[in-house]
Amino acid sequence: MNILVTGSAGFIGSSTSIRLLELKHKVIGIDNHNDYYDINLKEARFVRNSQYGNYLHYRVDIIDKKKIEQIFNLHKPEIVINFAAQPGVRYALKNPDAYIQSNIVGFVNILECCRHNKVKHLIYASSSSVYGANTKLPFSEHDNANHPLSLYAATKRSNELIAHSYSHIYGLPTTGLRFFTVYGPWGRPDMALFKFTKAILENKSVDIFNNGKHKRDFTYIDDVVNAVIEVVKFLPKSNKNWVGINPDPATSKSPWRIFNIGNNNPQTLNGYIKVIEKTLGLKAKKKFLHLQPGDLLETSANIDDFKNQFNFKTNTNISEGIQKFVSWFRDYYKI
């Protein structure tokens, strides 16, 4: 198929593009290569994608509606996977406009292009952050998620709601994937595993928020990509049993669906760091700090819906995943 992937030089976007290319799909990649983190890493991911003959790449920002329209009109993608977004919970405190522009304006541009080009299915990245103030664990798609604690989370929840309106009004099938703390080779330098590994190897201290007590449902990149590939083969349909008097937040009478993508095995940050230390054979210099504004105390994914729909399970435990990341890190940075 012709599949358009935005954020294709990003962490999840690049890894997903590679898998789609291996499956012989034609991938049209879009990425703005911004400097939120190391551009060289994004360039390296782009080079990795470009090794496949069935890959095309556009250095375009999804907020540029005219250029995005031109790409859609030219290639007529059957499936669109939107991973382009301004990530990060804490950066939103410094630059909120970046989140509104990319995550709201840019997302609506993608939706508009999808409806005008008769795209069969839009798949988009949401986040575990949308659960916000929820304390019922594990987080379920069938629970309310209307109390986000960060602007990033609010924009991701907005994506889900705006997508629903397009599914309802225009009949555009949309599937939102709430990713839970994705990690692994080619990962983002602003995330814990990358930062901790780099700091420990350089004998520098690492900032540990909430004294390392908060928990995350760390999910390995290959498991995430496997999940996305399953959704590519899936088309959301109307839930005929959906009723407005007791609305199910995960489904709809429209062709719209939300799924959690997680490991369903949360770990404390302190425990995560211990595995990194063991893998590196080095001890971390720890600087313990308070919980940051917008951070959740714990994330844990209920993935029963995804398991039941796709007979799916995650295959990578924390020790194995961190070992694979460290091996990649040493190789990539010639350590």
For the annotated catalytic residues, the residue numbers are 152
28's tokens:
């049209």
What are the residues facing 126 on neighbouring strands? 178
Burial class (CB within 10 angstroms; exposed 0-12, middle 13-18, buried 19+) of 224: buried
CA 129 to chain centre: 11
Say if residues 147 and 157 touch (Cβ distance below 8 Å).
Answer: no
Retrieve residue 77's tokens.
Answer: 């993608």
Residue 211, sorted as left (phi over 0), alpha (psi -120 to 50) or beta, turns out to be: left
Alpha helix ranges (H) inside the chain:
11-22, 39-50, 65-75, 96-99, 107-116, 151-170, 192-201, 221-232, 269-280, 304-310, 318-332
User: Cβ-count burial of 70 within 10 angstroms (0-12 exposed, 13-18 middle, 19+ buried)?
Assistant: middle
Tell me phi and psi for residue 258, to 5 degrees. -120, 135
Q: Are strands 79-82 and 174-179 parallel, antiparallel or unpaired?
A: unpaired
